[in-house]
């Protein structure tokens, strides 16, 4: 799924989609209550640009799509990216190179 971030059409999708639309796309429309709760944790966070949030969603769901996960993990990653000043699409792409499991383990 992360390889999509190199596809110009997908990059355009990241630029124009809402987080909910991005999750719908990544999960094949299989939005569960857990995804809705998880996205709700981002609702009041305004530190990152929308396209960066969508890359974060791609990063998260490339590992956790259609699996059980801690509903706060996406918010933890959001705060981690904000504290690392991930404000551009290029920086967001770079951050996807980190092992998400190790990052989350370090944040808990």
pTM listed for this prediction: 0.91
Helix, strand or coil, per DSSP, at residue 31: coil
Question: Is the pLDDT reported for residue 96 higher than 80?
Answer: yes
Confidence of residue 42 (pLDDT cuts 50, 70, 90): confident
Domain ranges within the chain, ordered by starting residue: 2-106
Helix residue ranges, H only, 17-64: 19-26, 33-40, 50-64
Alpha-carbon distance of 44 to 105, in angstroms, equals 24
């Amino acid at each position: 799924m992360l390889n999509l971030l190199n596809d110009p059409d997908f990059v355009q999708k990241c630029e124009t989609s809402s987080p909910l639309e991005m999750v719908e796309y990544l999960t094949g429309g299989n939005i569960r209550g857990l995804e809705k709760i998880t996205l709700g944790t981002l609702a009041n966070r305004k530190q990152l640009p929308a396209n960066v949030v969508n890359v974060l969603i791609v990063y998260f769901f490339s590992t956790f799509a259609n699996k059980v996960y801690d509903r706060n993990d996406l918010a933890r990653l959001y705060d981690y990216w904000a504290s690392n000043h991930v404000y551009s699409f290029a920086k967001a792409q770079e951050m996807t190179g980190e092992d998400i499991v190790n990052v989350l383990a370090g944040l808990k």
